[in-house]
């Protein structure tokens, strides 16, 4: 009898569903022109908006080649908004730096490093990071005249003064890192609904 109960318990645990889908957001980028949709791919889920605007139809779509999601306008890719990177489960987040350099997402040097970031409130298992400049890259950035908008010192996936880009880890999924770009004016998804599966 004890073995039967143990077997039933194990079967229940193994069949446990993935993380629950969070509630649909109640806000909208452009009220009356956008509709929320739940999207999944690459082991993540998000609430994203499909917006029919004067400038076109804006919506995220899953891009298996990233793997992750891109923002599209009238079906044309505008850039990655979420990308999943794999790493050894026991490795630090810095383990993905070689992949970021090889992909051309950050400069191919050691002057761009991960630093903890205070992005938003989150469960204790989640941590946020930004890629920040050091050394000569930091010095060049700090020397930018006040009346100029500086280029991101650590490339497209690095910290910037115009736009919010960060990386997210979750102790419950130690082999994955998620890159998130919510842009300057938003990228049609609610980053507080990112769900790892």
Question: For 50-104, what is each residue's pLDDT tens digit?
Answer: 999 999 999 999 999 999 999 999 999 999 999 999 999 999 999 999 999 999 9
In the predicted structure, residue 12 carries a pLDDT above the cut 70: no
Question: Is there a cis peptide before residue 44, judged by omega within 30 degrees of 0?
Answer: no
If one compares 19 and 196, the residue with the highest pLDDT of the two is 196
The CA distance from 6 to 24, in Å, is 37
If you average pLDDT over residues 114-131, what whole number do you get?
Answer: 96
If you average pLDDT over residues 137-151, what whole number do you get?
Answer: 91
- Which residue has tokens 């949709």? 37
Percentage above 70 pLDDT, the chain: 90
* Maximal C-alpha separation, the chain: 76
User: In which band, very low, low, confident or very high, does the pLDDT at 187 lie, cut at 50, 70 and 90?
Assistant: confident
In the predicted structure, residue 5 carries a pLDDT above the cut 80: no
Q: Decide if 167 contacts 130 (C-beta within 8 A).
A: yes
pTM of the model: 0.87
Question: Is there a cis peptide before residue 67, judged by omega within 30 degrees of 0?
Answer: yes
pLDDT tens per residue, range 160-178: 988 899 999 999 999 999 9
Q: Per DSSP, which regions of 16-175 are E strands?
A: 34-41, 44-53, 56-63, 68-73, 76-86, 112-116, 126-133, 164-170
User: In which band, very low, low, confident or very high, does the pLDDT at 19 lie, cut at 50, 70 and 90?
Assistant: low
Q: What is the mean pLDDT of the chain?
A: 90
């Amino acid at each position: 009898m004890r073995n039967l109960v143990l077997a039933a318990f194990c079967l229940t645990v193994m069949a446990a569903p993935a993380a629950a889908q969070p509630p649909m957001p109640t806000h909208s980028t452009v009220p009356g022109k956008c509709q929320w949709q739940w999207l999944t791919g690459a082991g993540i889920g998000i609430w994203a908006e499909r917006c029919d605007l004067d400038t076109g139809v804006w919506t995220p779509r899953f891009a298996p080649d990233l793997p992750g999601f891109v923002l599209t306008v009238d079906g044309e890719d505008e850039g990655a908004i979420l990308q999943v990177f794999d790493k050894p489960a026991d490795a630090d987040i810095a383990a993905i730096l070689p992949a970021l350099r090889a992909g051309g997402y950050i400069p191919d040097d050691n002057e761009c490093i991960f630093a903890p970031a205070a992005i938003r409130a989150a469960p204790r298992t989640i941590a946020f990071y930004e890629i920040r400049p050091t050394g000569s890259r930091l010095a060049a950035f700090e020397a930018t005249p006040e009346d100029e908008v500086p280029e991101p010192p650590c490339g497209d996936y690095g910290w910037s003064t115009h736009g919010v880009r960060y990386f997210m880890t979750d102790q419950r999924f130690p082999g994955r890192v998620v890159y998130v770009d919510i842009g300057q004016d938003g990228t049609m998804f609610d980053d507080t609904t990112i769900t790892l599966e």
